[in-house]
Structure 1
Amino acid sequence: MKISFAQAFKNLFTSRKIDEEFFENLTDALVEGDMGAKLAYEICDQLEKICREKKISDESEIKNELKKLLSSMVRACEFTPEKGKVNIYMMLGVNGVGKTTSAAKIARLYKERGERVIMAASDTFRAAAEEQLEMHGERLGIRVISHQHGSDPSAVVFDAAESCRANGGGLIIADTAGRLHNKENLVRELQKIDRIAAQKADKGCFKKILVIDGTTGQNALRQAEVFSESVGVDAIVITKYDSTARGGCVFTIGKELSLPVLFVCTGEKYEDIRPFEPEKYIEEFIGN
């Protein structure tokens, strides 16, 4: 089993002086921590230069300089639905990242904040997705709008938006398909949902949220690129994350695509979701 970056970073200081080899090993540790090689080299080059110029060799000082470099690559964001309007948050992501569960967690979170929430089962080709969302809706007391298996996914969003408007506005969390192995069909499907959602939501009330598995490493960047190119992405949600996860993909996505992070999911329960806090995330990534 791979160790976390925090542990690998700590190990670098055990019996090693701060020389060229130290920074080479740090680069390797960052790559092992799921950061892209290009960015890992870039960060280590900058860090080595800073340490040389400031004559830094102390572990805590090196750690602080690394934190500063990483903090420029990630940022948090917050979405607040507008009262009395139709707000649509479209959930994106490949199958297996925890998208449907994340949709339920986010729906519960906003319901607890006093929002009127509807979930739209727009992944109509994977029967389990509709059933799963309906199960979540039942448990959470949140209405789920779904159509029969294989029907037009954008029609589900259309109906959810009509219902939402008729009831004085609210928030629609729309789950979508994520079959990347059939990319062309998926892209067309998502673009159609995107058009309908953009038409039906009130101005400025449509957001696209990409769900990324915190343990998938560099695949996460590729996924973010695919969805950004296809329909655009406003923010990401990290799933399957805990303090032992490697999590470096967040920095690569932040640096390459400038995407902010909305939430971090830390477990299976509905309440295992929290707003993204860059400082806390970096602290956990590097270690105390």
Structure 2
Amino acid sequence: MGFFNRLKESLTKTRESFVEKIDQVVTGRKGIDEELYEELEEVLIQADVGVNTAMTLVERVRKGVKARNVQEAYRLKDIFQEELEYLMGEKISPIQLNPEGPTVIMVVGVNGVGKTTTIGKLAHNYKEQGKKVLLAAGDTFRAAAIDQLEIWAQRVGVDIIKHQEGSDPGAVAYDAVHAARSRKADILLIDTAGRLHNKSNLMDELRKVYKVIARELPGAPHEVLLILDATTGQNALNQTKIFSEAVHVTGIALTKLDGTAKGGVVTAIVTEMAIPVKLIGIGEGMDDLKQFNPKDFIDALYGVNKEDQ
């Protein structure tokens, strides 16, 4: 089964809480009234689309209905899909690579969102493309984080830069950048700590790591990738705000879309955050992390049958 069909399958629960609920609201209604719009808004909010996006989307549907002089409630389904496609856009935002040396990707996010797994899958993807990849274990606060990244390095067959637990993350970043340059690596993926119980300390640390990378390699980091867990729903928006205040987040990787009913949060992230969703993860497999394509996401959400990719 190709990625599109796997994506479609993984969005089953989101489809049930989002698209099918909308169908239920409009099916059997004789006309279009204010109560219908309120119910649509409620469905969207419950599907983790977010209050602001839900209001924007329903307002666009309302205008579409008026502009086309639509009278039948069932026709809202098509208008709804069109307006969702408009809000999500068609732009694909790839990871930016540095043509003049190592591309440094700093990976941030709270613990448990799939940060290490995402780094491992990215390393695998780049290695498959023939690129030389180096990992850096910058989460020095958990021995498990260093061990997990080392396991991924062995699994993928790439080198890793690591220090002892409790050492300075900035020193790891420093060594990693210099190792990437001397070993002529194409991609350097730097893991970072993700505890949020003491946000100010964590954010100060992230800023420090960022500055070390920028100082040692002008123009780096070329990407600051924020990893978000789709199952957390609206909490993903709060995490985006917190991390964006600390470092210049350039892209989002949304993990664990498979098996969650909260995939509607993708819509909120795309429309409310000025940060592109660059990657989505739909499983544990090495090839279950792919570039985010808004059109494919909506087609998969609506269960469109098309030739697989």
Give yes or no for TM over 0.5.
Answer: yes
Tell me the TM-score normalised to structure 2 length: 0.86
Tell me the TM-score normalised to structure 1 length: 0.92
Comparing 174-183 with 45-54, greater Cα deviation is found at 45-54
Q: Deviations over 1:17-51 (max 9, x none)?
A: 43322221111111111121122112212211211
Match 2:87 to one of 64, 70, 74 = 70
Separation in structure 1 between the aligned mates of residue 152 and residue 50 of structure 2, nearest angstrom: 35
| SS of equivalent to 1:172 | strand
Q: Provide structure 2 residue ranges, at least 5 long, that are not aligned to the other structure.
A: 1-12, 305-309
Separation in structure 2 between the aligned mates of residue 12 and residue 209 of structure 1, nearest angstrom: 38
- Tell whether the 8 Å contact from 2:106 to 2:223 is kept in structure 1 after alignment: yes
| SS of equivalent to 1:25 | helix
Q: Indicate the residue corresponding to 1:232 in structure 2.
A: 248
- Tell whether the 8 Å contact from 2:97 to 2:222 is kept in structure 1 after alignment: no
**1:40 equivalent in alignment to 2:43:** no
Separation in structure 1 between the aligned mates of residue 38 and residue 302 of structure 2, nearest angstrom: 17
**1:180 equivalent in alignment to 2:196:** yes
Q: Provide structure 1 residue ranges, at least 5 long, that are not aligned to the other structure.
A: none
**1:155 equivalent in alignment to 2:171:** yes
Paired amino acid for 1:71: M
Separation in structure 2 between the aligned mates of residue 111 and residue 176 of structure 1, nearest angstrom: 21
State the shift of 1:166 in Å: 0.7
Q: Indicate the residue corresponding to 1:8 in structure 2.
A: 21
Separation in structure 2 between the aligned mates of residue 167 and residue 83 of structure 1, nearest angstrom: 16
Paired amino acid for 1:62: I
- Tell whether the 8 Å contact from 1:87 to 1:201 is kept in structure 2 after alignment: no
Q: Deviations over 1:87-122 (max 9, x none)?
A: 210111111111111111111111111211001010
Separation in structure 2 between the aligned mates of residue 69 and residue 32 of structure 1, nearest angstrom: 21
Separation in structure 2 between the aligned mates of residue 119 and residue 170 of structure 1, nearest angstrom: 11
Match 1:132 to one of 142, 148, 151 = 148
Q: Equivalences for 1:61-140 in 2 at 5 Å?
A: 61-72=78-89, 75-83=91-99, 85-140=101-156
Tell me: CA distance 1:208–1:180, structure 2 relative to 1, closer, same or farther (3 Å): same
**1:20 equivalent in alignment to 2:34:** yes
- Tell whether the 8 Å contact from 1:7 to 1:287 is kept in structure 2 after alignment: no
Comparing 6-15 with 218-227, greater Cα deviation is found at 6-15
Q: Indicate the residue corresponding to 1:247 in structure 2.
A: 263
Q: Deviations over 1:230-268 (max 9, x none)?
A: 112000001001386432222222333211111110001
Comparing 46-55 with 221-230, greater Cα deviation is found at 46-55
**1:281 equivalent in alignment to 2:297:** yes
Sequence identity, in percent? 39
- Tell whether the 8 Å contact from 1:161 to 1:172 is kept in structure 2 after alignment: yes
| SS of equivalent to 2:105 | strand
Tell me: CA distance 1:29–1:219, structure 2 relative to 1, closer, same or farther (3 Å): same
- Tell whether the 8 Å contact from 2:102 to 2:180 is kept in structure 1 after alignment: yes
- Tell whether the 8 Å contact from 2:139 to 2:146 is kept in structure 1 after alignment: yes
- Tell whether the 8 Å contact from 1:82 to 1:205 is kept in structure 2 after alignment: no
Q: Deviations over 1:167-224 (max 9, x none)?
A: 2242110111111111011001101110011122343662100011112111111100
Q: Indicate the residue corresponding to 1:212 in structure 2.
A: 228
Paired amino acid for 1:242: D
State the shift of 1:76 in Å: 2.7
State the shift of 1:83 in Å: 4.6
